[in-house]
Structure 1
């Protein structure tokens, strides 16, 4: 049996609008009355986020002072993953078609995400995504889980998933962050990183995934090719 475990935000959901809206809100909240600030364009902001520029540094580049930058960081931490902002997430173009392709090919598919149950359920309801992931193929955080760091929490989530899922001859992890790659490597699973998420190629290369491709569709093309799920001359993936 071939199993693909995929992250949710990044491979399936585009979070750039949510992050940018939260950034603009934090600027408005923290700026002094009549203080001129210089909001970054969405493209500028997202490029800095993908390069992992610290939040406080982004705040300073936007015209805030050091004290404000610290407050910006705290407000942003409370805001960016809150339910009012999660509504700005939308499926990555082509991601739902890829999920349909996986279902048609009868691949054992699971989702593994640092979202909490209510946050994942909300997105599933809005975009009818539950059809692709039965309850026993969803691995996320409980609503009361106290997070530490993604690179620590996600390997534990992977451990739980592997303990609960039936055995599979071949397992791949698809994700867009260092936490996804670390989780896979910790448990001896092949990792494919996608460039449609919150890390750029430079950041992903530092984690040494098995492959880097542009998006979820290309990741699946690659997995199918290497696993002989489709003919080798079908659709190639852009492998880095």
Structure 2
């Protein structure tokens, strides 16, 4: 089968998770403050603005440091981080996720070009499928490889992404798809490292949870602002009869 296939992360290129992560952070701080007060230990927290919080996340500032700057110390930080991990995938918070601006238009470009999109994500598949159905995007995805661990996407281990992409590539090849010209599109170092490890070109998009300067250090094949720009680049090459 000669159709071009691209592998794509879900959070970042397609789903904007910034509102959810920020809401989780604020709820975690409120919980820490309430818990401390109930224990007779008054705590004053300092809420970072969303812009501050997301800039720190994009530049890989450790969560412990973010918690410290927010007024927590010692065991308060441990309890806060554990609470964040517990609640980040709750349904009420998942509802904060939105489609990235112009991601739908980018996916439509790929459909028009006959390019297959295979999702490789550390999210549980049922979460992804629910999001795609909610936002009428099922048509855009040819296949999906996810993780059963509900907290895997939040921790985003590169080794998990490498293993998942390896499985996706092997399965697609068994199904007869030609992957010699595939891309791995993602917004984190895990996506870049996975593509590089498995010998396919990488597209790092800067609209997600890592900054342009941070991603540049991992030397992706292409560094682009978003999925729409990546899809336009791919469309140009397909139109010109070239491979990506």
The aligned counterpart of 1:157 is 164
Cα RMSD (Å): 2.0
TM-score (norm. length: structure 2): 0.87
Is 1:130 aligned with 2:138? yes
Shift of 1:74: 1.1
| Residues in 2 aligned to 1:43 and 1:146: alpha-carbon distance in whole angstroms | 25
SS at match of 2:203: strand
Q: Quote the Cα distance in structure 2 between the aligned partners of 1:13 and 1:111.
A: 12
Partner of 2:230: 219
Residue ranges of structure 1 left out of the alignment (5+ in a row): 233-240
Aligned residues: 228
The equivalences for 1:37-52 within 5 A come to: 37-52=45-60
1:104 maps to which of 90, 98, 112? 112
How big is the shift at 1:162?
A: 0.9
1:27 is matched with which residue?
A: 29
Q: Deviations over 1:138-157 (max 9, x none)?
A: 11113689898621111111
Give matches, 1:153-232, under 5 Å: 153-165=160-172, 166-225=177-236, 228-231=237-240
CA deviation profile, 1:80-133 (whole Å, cap 9, x unmatched): 233331111000010011111111111122111110122112212211221111
TM-aligned CA deviation for residue 188 of structure 1: 0.4
Partner of 2:72: 64
Distance 2:94 2:29 in 1: 19
Distance 1:145 1:199 in 2: 19
1:78 aligns with 2:86: yes
Separation in 2, partners of 1:173, 1:144: 23
Residue of structure 2 equivalent to 1:236: none
Distance 1:143 1:68, change over 3 A: closer
1:231 CA drift (Å): 4.5
Cα distance in 2, alignment partners of residues 161 and 4 from structure 1: 11
Residues in 1 aligned to 2:94 and 2:209: alpha-carbon distance in whole angstroms: 15
Q: Which residue in the other structure is 1:237 paired with?
A: none
Contact 1:118 1:143 survives alignment (8 Å): no
Q: Secondary structure at the match of 1:152?
A: helix
Cα deviation, 1:166-188, whole Å, max 9, x if unaligned, reads 22341011100011011101110
TM-score normalised by length of structure 1: 0.88
C-alpha displacement of 1:230: 2.6
